[in-house]
Amino acid sequence: MIPVLVKREFTSRVKGTAYIITTILGVLVFVGLSFLPPLIERFSASITPGQIDLVVYEQPGKSSIFPFLQQVSVERDGFTVRSGSDLDEREAYRMVLDEGLSGLLLVDGPLYTLVTADASNMMLNDEIENILNLAVSRHNAVRLGLSAEDVSSLFSPADFRIREVSPLGEDGEEVDSAAHAQAMVLAYFLLFMIYMALIMYGNMVASGVAEEKSSRIMEVMVSTVKPLELMLGKIIGVGSLGLLQFFIWIGTGLLMNTMGSSGALGMMLGISEPLSTIPLDTVLWFGLYFVLGYFLYASIFAAAGALVSRVEEVSQVVTIIMMLIMVGFFGAYISFLNPNSGFAVATSLIPFTSPMVMFSRIVLGSPSLMEVIASVLVLLVSVLVGAWISGKIYRIGILMYGKRLTLRQVLMLVRE
Partner 1 sequence: MSLIAAEITKRFRDVTAVDNLTFSVQGGSLFGFLGPNGAGKTTTMRVVLGIIRPDEGQVTWNGTPFRRLGRGFFGYLPEERGLYPKMRVAEHLEFLGRIHGLDKRKAQIETERWIDRFDLGELRHKRIEELSKGNQQKVQTIGTMLHDPELLVLDEPFSGLDPVNTALLKEVLLESHKRGKTIIFSSHRMDQVEEICEDIVLIDRGRLVLHGNLRQIKRSMGRQILRISLEGNEDFWYKIPGMELLTSRADFQEFRLGEGVDPNYVLREAMQAGQVLRFELVEPSLDQIFVEKVGVGA
Instruction: Give residues in contact with partner 1 (CB under 8 A).
Output: 1, 4-5, 8, 12, 16, 212, 215-225, 399
- Residue nearer to partner 1 on the CB measure, 146 or 225: 225
Contact of 385 with 220, CB cutoff 8 Å: no
- Which residue lies nearer to partner 1 by CB, 212 or 271? 212
- In the complex with partner 1, the residue whose CB is nearer, 208 or 365, is 208
As measured in angstroms, the least distance from the Cβ of 12 to partner 1 is 6
Q: Residue 83, SS3?
A: strand
**Integer Cα distance of 113 and 312 in angstroms:** 60
Give which of 65, 97, 61, 94 is closest to 81, Cα–Cα.
Answer: 65
**Least distance CB 18 / partner 1 (angstroms):** 11
Rounded CA-CA distance 416/409 in Å is: 11
Shorter beta-carbon distance to partner 1: residue 221 or 327: 221
* 300 vs 198: CA distance, rounded Å: 11
Q: How far is the CB of 228 from partner 1 (least distance, A)?
A: 14
HEC assignment per residue over 294-309: HHHHHHHHHHHHHCCC
CB of 223 to partner 1, least distance (A): 4
For residues 74 and 125, is the Cβ–Cβ distance under 8 A? no
Question: Nearer Cβ to partner 1, position 218 or 298?
Answer: 218
By the 8 A CB rule, do 311 and 335 touch? no
Could you give the C-alpha distances from 407 to 156, 179, 320, 386, 396, in angstroms and in order?
Answer: 62, 47, 12, 16, 14
In the bound state with partner 1, the residue whose beta carbon lies nearer, of 2 and 81, is: 2
d(CA 247, CA 225): 31
Is the Cβ of residue 228 or residue 380 nearer to partner 1 in the bound state? 228
Q: How far is the CB of 249 from partner 1 (least distance, A)?
A: 24
Nearest to 204 by CA among 399, 410, 9, 7: 9
Give dist(CA 230, CA 96) in Å, integer: 76
- Least distance in angstroms from the C-beta of 413 to partner 1: 11
Closest by Cα among 295, 304, 316, 299 to 398: 304
Q: Considering the complex, what minimum distance in angstroms separates the CB of residue 398 from partner 1?
A: 9
